[in-house]
Structures are given as C-alpha cells and as structure tokens.
Structure 1
C-alpha cells in the first residue's frame, strides 16, 4: 500500500466551523491501491448480487430495516465515511439538488455511514439534505456489501494526528470504515448498479446514477 503523507489531507471549516477532513483515500490512485491491497474490489457486491438485509439506525437511534428503502421502488444507497469527510459532504450536497428527479423516478435515496446517529443528524443539518442519513455503527451493512476495511497503521496515525478519532466518531471503538460506494437496488433486492471508490471508471455524478435508474426502471 502507498505510504500516506500530510500532503494527502486538507482541512476546511464547513457548517458551524466544524473541521472537515479529506481522506487520504480520496485520491484515485490511492483508492485504487486500497481496493487491490485489501481485496475489496473483488468482494464488494456488484450488479446482479442480492443486497443484504439488515438494520440501520435513524437520527433518534431507532432501528430501520435497510430493505425498506427499496420496498416500494428502486433505491440509491450511498455509503460515506462520515460528515468529517470533505468529499463525502460535497457528494451529499450534490445529491440534495436532485429531489424532484428522485420523486419522478419513485426512487428512495439514503446515505449510510458508521458515525453515531447524532453525528449523522448533524451531517444532514450541515449539508441541508432532505433524504435519510442513517447510521451503521457496527458496520454490518458495510460488511454485507463487502466494503468495510480496517485502516492500516499509517492511516490511523494520519487520522489521529488531525483530530479524526474514528473509533469515537463512530462510537464503536474500531478503526474501520466503509469504502465510499454507490448502489442502485431494485424492488426485488437485486443490485442493478454498483460503483466502489477506486474502481477503474470515473466516480459517477448524481446525473449518471439517475440515468442508470431511468434506464432500468423508467419514469413512474
């Protein structure tokens, strides 16, 4: 795995002055190396796979069945690191502009991170999103999709040195994160589209993902 250095990070102050951290794995070459080194690229769920069933937590800590998202129509599931991740926050902000199209396609959008429910709620507020921000603190969903990985020592040192105590932010005591990923899942629970950060193709824009939904399910 590539050595991570301080040039890989960026600190900003979005929403209420809270710091945001650009993960060292946001760089395409580093993300691609991560997939190769950990085997995530091979084990991550891809189109044609059955999405796992499990529960997530809402902002109040209540249990939500993940399959509820695609019960009545297709769903887009965004796996993000957390609100502290600058790239993740930018992604959420891009998606908040597409509510009208999502409704026209009868498609549910959810964002999933391992951070605690209160931090997920804060992330939704900071980024002014109107879709569900759900917590996966035990990383059961991330593991089910095959995208959870344990941070190596050099990344742990870098995160910790910049005030990103991942085990505390996630409330689980673990230096484990999901690789950011985007999935489209049909009402039958079958994955119809998958992108995992580090894939050889460029990261999809919301418009690209919505096109995939339209191609597979049409306008409702």
Structure 2
C-alpha cells in the first residue's frame, strides 16, 4: 500500500512539474484570449518602484505591449513607433504600458535612448509574461543577453512580442501576438483598432 501511495505522489508531482514547464518555442505558447482578465501582478518601474498593474489599468483603457528587451532592435523600432503615435492614442482614450524582462536600469536606458513618454515596466521574474501565456524557453544563444538585461534575474525565458488592448475592467478587448519577433503590429492597424474600441 505504501508503494502505491509513493508512486501516486511521484506521478502527481511529475504532472505538476510538466505543467509548470515553459513552452520550448514561441509557436507553442497558449496566450490569454479576448474576454479574459489581465492577471493582478506587481511589477517594477524604471525607477525601481513597485507598480500594481491593475491599479493603472483601472484608471484608463490601456495598450499593454510585451517586448523582448532594450537589446532587441525590432523591439526598439516598435517602441519608437509607439512613441510617435502616443498623442493620437492618448486622444482616443488609451494609455500605453510596455513590459519586458529588462531590469529597471535597462528600462531607464531604453526610455532615455528612445525618448519615450509612456510607462515601461520590468517583468524580470516573468510573473506577468508567464501568467499571460507569452513566455517560452529562451534559446541558448539568448541566455547571456537576457541574463545581462535582467541583471541576473531572468536566465530562462523570453516573451513573445504581443499587444493587448485592455478595458478599465481589466478584460482583454483585442490582441496581436507575433511569434516571429521580426514582425510587429503596424501603426496603421494599431490606430485603427484604437478607433474601433474607442
């Protein structure tokens, strides 16, 4: 009887660990869907202050952007384009929040380099990326880059680049997820979706 209980326990632990493992590639992720709620997590600002994500979202409709890090040229192009469209998006009633695994100091460098006015948040532990279903196992050649960008906090994962439009109730209204990190949502589509959801 003891052996059966031990075997049952081992198999339960094995299943639990398998469910906690990250997808191996960007194509295997299972992101949250339209109508689901953004998780209630606490992240860090570029100044190192704690920020409750849902507290900010409850104040204004929000475009939440997930990017890989300030080291990624495709991400920087996207962040700069968001900056160019920010005034129009604000006029349509949406604020912008961009989230990456970068540590606060790296966020500050990106902010200053790209001259951004919107909020950058650090998700170095991956709590939000994992809860959103966007995190996957970083390829070996990326591990030194993400380790440096997160100041050693993240050594294992990358988020798939994604854009979520979120209502003040925290519910996802629209999403654009791109496993191919070289392709991002166009400014035209971003503005069109914002107008449609206004």
- Which TM-score band applies after superposition, normalised by the shorter structure? 0.7 to 0.9
Go from structure 1 to structure 2 and tell me whether the alpha carbon gap of 1:35 and 1:116 turns closer, same or farther (over 3 Å shift): closer
Which of 55, 58, 61 lines up with 1:68 in the alignment? 55
Go from structure 1 to structure 2 and tell me whether the alpha carbon gap of 1:204 and 1:188 turns closer, same or farther (over 3 Å shift): same
Deviation digits for residues 189-218 of structure 1, max 9, x if unmatched?
A: 11011111138xx742133123212212x2
Aligned to 1:189: 170
Aligned to 1:146: 133
Give 5+ residue unaligned stretches, structure 1: 1-32
Q: 1:99 Cα shift? A: 2.2
What TM-score, normalized by structure 1, do the two folds share?
Answer: 0.73
SS in 2 for 1:103: helix
Confirm or deny that 1:86 pairs with 2:67. Answer: no
What TM-score, normalized by structure 2, do the two folds share?
Answer: 0.80
Q: Is the 8 A contact 1:45 1:194 kept in 2?
A: no
Which of 126, 142, 145 lines up with 1:159 in the alignment? 142
Give 5+ residue unaligned stretches, structure 2: 1-23
Q: Is the 8 A contact 2:25 2:136 kept in 1?
A: no
Aligned to 2:4: none
The Cα RMSD (Å) is 1.9
Q: 1:144 Cα shift? A: 1.3
Aligned to 1:28: none
Deviation digits for residues 77-107 of structure 1, max 9, x if unmatched?
A: 1100111000000001111111221221121
Which of 106, 122, 134 lines up with 2:121 in the alignment? 134
SS in 2 for 1:165: helix
Aligned to 1:22: none
SS in 2 for 1:124: helix
Go from structure 1 to structure 2 and tell me whether the alpha carbon gap of 1:186 and 1:143 turns closer, same or farther (over 3 Å shift): same
Q: Radius of gyration: which is bigger?
A: 2
Go from structure 1 to structure 2 and tell me whether the alpha carbon gap of 1:100 and 1:138 turns closer, same or farther (over 3 Å shift): same
Aligned length: 172
Alignment of 1:9-158 (within 5 A): 34-36=25-27, 39-40=28-29, 43-151=30-138, 155-156=139-140, 158=141
Aligned to 1:206: 187
Q: Which runs of 4 or more aligned residues in structure 1 lie more than 6 Å from their structure 2 counterparts after TM superposition? A: none
